[in-house]
């Protein structure tokens, strides 16, 4: 069965510092991969997605993610974090064509001044 | 606002009562999904509709849960005889099915508290 692991329950970074959130998935083939962000009181917002092709994908709000097949990873990065990036981030995978997305448990990002 | 909307945003009920939630998807979207999210966890898939047909149900969806999408537009999720373990955020999402993977757009959720 598919699974998604986000090893870090929470991360604290200073404003302006770089960020990397880890995500590992378990699935035989290459699934479709997503990163979502959830702010308090808000719905999940898609940051970026990977289906095929270039393994470095660019998303909204200055985020990017790199798919590494050999490591079954899809880590999210941002070169300079802003205070408004404080939120919960979810990695997700899907191999069904979009109707049964499996989410990780999430990583809560705290940004300190 | 043309996003996914959910009503109510919050619901507090007593154990044993029935509750019903509504989801209005983005108007041209033919797929609609329900998820449940508990504290400290990611969303868990419950069920999904393509137009009015319910095509997939998770084992999480016990017989106390029922979802409908009668005209292929809005959807309702009903929980009968609520239990404290039903307390969670219930999320709705919609997508437009085209070739490849469909991007899901999420609503703000309905937070259910069962006392």
Q: Does B33 touch chain A (CB under 8 A)?
A: yes
> Which of the residues in chain B have pLDDT under 50?
none
Res B103: pLDDT: 82
The residue-averaged pLDDT of A31-39 equals 92
For the four alpha carbons of B79, B83, B89 and B95, in that order, the dihedral sign comes to: negative
Asked if pLDDT for residue A93 goes beyond 80, the answer is yes
Asked if pLDDT for residue A100 goes beyond 90, the answer is no
Give me chain A's average pLDDT, please: 91
From chain A, the residues in CB contact with B100 under 8 A are: 51, 97-98
A97 pLDDT band, cuts 50/70/90, is low
CA–CA min distance B6, chain A (Å): 10
A60 with A47: CB under 8 angstroms? yes
Q: Does B74 touch chain A (CB under 8 A)?
A: no
**Which pLDDT tens digit goes with each residue over A52-81?**
888 999 999 999 999 999 999 999 999 999
Distance CA B38, CA B59 (A): 16
Q: How many CB atoms lie within 10 A of CB B29?
A: 18
* Strand pairing category for B10-13 and B110-114: parallel
A3 with A102: CB under 8 angstroms? yes
From chain B, the residues in CB contact with A41 under 8 A are: 108
Res B100: pLDDT: 62
């Amino acid at each position: 069965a598919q699974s998604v692991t986000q090893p870090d329950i929470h991360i604290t970074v200073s404003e302006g510092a770089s960020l990397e959130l880890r995500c590992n998935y378990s699935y035989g083939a290459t699934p479709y991969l997503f990163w979502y962000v959830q702010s308090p009181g808000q719905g999940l917002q898609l940051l970026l997605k990977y289906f095929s092709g270039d393994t470095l994908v660019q998303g909204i709000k200055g985020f990017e993610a790199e798919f590494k097949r050999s490591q079954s990873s899809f880590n999210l990065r941002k070169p300079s974090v802003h205070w408004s990036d404080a939120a919960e981030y979810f990695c997700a995978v899907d191999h069904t064509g979009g109707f049964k997305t499996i989410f990780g448990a999430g990583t809560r990002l705290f940004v300190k001044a | 606002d043309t996003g996914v909307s959910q009503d109510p945003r919050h619901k507090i009920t007593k154990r044993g009562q029935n509750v019903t939630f509504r989801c209005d998807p983005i108007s041209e979207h033919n797929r609609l999904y329900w998820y449940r999210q508990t504290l400290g966890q990611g969303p868990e898939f419950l069920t999904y509709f393509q137009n009015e047909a319910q095509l997939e149900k998770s084992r999480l969806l016990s017989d106390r849960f029922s979802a409908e999408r009668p005209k292929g537009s809005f959807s309702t999720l009903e929980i009968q005889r609520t239990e404290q373990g039903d307390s969670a955020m219930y999320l709705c999402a919609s997508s437009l099915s085209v070739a490849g993977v469909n991007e899901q757009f999420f609503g703000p959720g309905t937070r259910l508290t069962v006392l």
